[in-house]
Chains A and B, each alone.
Chain A
Amino acid sequence: EPEVTQTPSHQVTQMGQEVILRCVPISNHLYFYWYRQILGQKVEFLVSFYNNEISEKSEIFDDQFSVERPDGSNFTLKIRSTKLEDSAMYFCASSDPRGINQPQHFGDGTRLSIL
């Protein structure tokens, strides 16, 4: 069964450094998403993306965050200058645009640890 893949599985970075989290969505999906989950808390929406544009973003997704689809298969989340509170699991998800409310499929996440 096709799946969303994310790399790296764990990223450790010094505060203030830039990080790029990578995702390969399911191949025929065109809606892409990033979520984050702080340890022990619920999953929170960050941003959705379609047709090379941001569709919607949350208040968490401030100017330090950006997303990009650099080629036909990858979808990336960049955090420009990381803060301690950015430490969390970051999940990429994708869904099929055909039909209404097609469910989102999630990757296994990248654990981001900011020191």
Chain B
Amino acid sequence: GQQLNQSPQSMFIQEGEDVSMNCTSSSIFNTWLWYKQDPGEGPVLLIALYKAGELTSNGRLTAQFGITRKDSFLNISASIPSDVGIYFCAGPPDTGFQGAQKLVFGQGTRLTINP
């Protein structure tokens, strides 16, 4: 089945630094979603991307939908302590199925920030 590979698996940065992480797939995705998960909580949607080449921002977060439709990246500028958590990329596989489409998740990037 379609899989998403995230890199890096973990990041240790200083507060105030910029962060960049990415997500790749061997097959095409028509939607890319970025979620953040805090300990003991569910994934919270950060950014949704629907069009190849699309660049979307949400505050200090910026994400892009790759032209090939096989990758996406998420950038966080000027990191702050509350950015700590696990960031997941996700998307519905391109099966032609319409309706309640399942999401495939990457394995996550764990972000740790040193104050």
Contacts and interface: CB of A to CB of B under 8 A. Distances in A.
* Overall SS of chain A's interface: strand
Nearest to A43: B105
B97 A103 contact: no
B40 A43 contact: no
A104 B103 contact: yes
**How many A residues touch the partner, as a band?**
20 to 34
Interface of A: 4, 6, 31-33, 35, 41-45, 48-50, 55-56, 58, 91, 93, 95, 97, 100-101, 103-109, 111
24 contacts: A31-B99, A31-B100, A32-B100, A33-B103, A41-B107, A42-B88, A42-B107, A43-B90, A43-B103, A45-B103, A48-B101, A93-B42, A97-B99, A100-B98, A101-B31, A103-B33, A103-B45, A103-B48, A104-B103, A105-B45, A106-B42, A106-B44, A108-B40, A109-B41
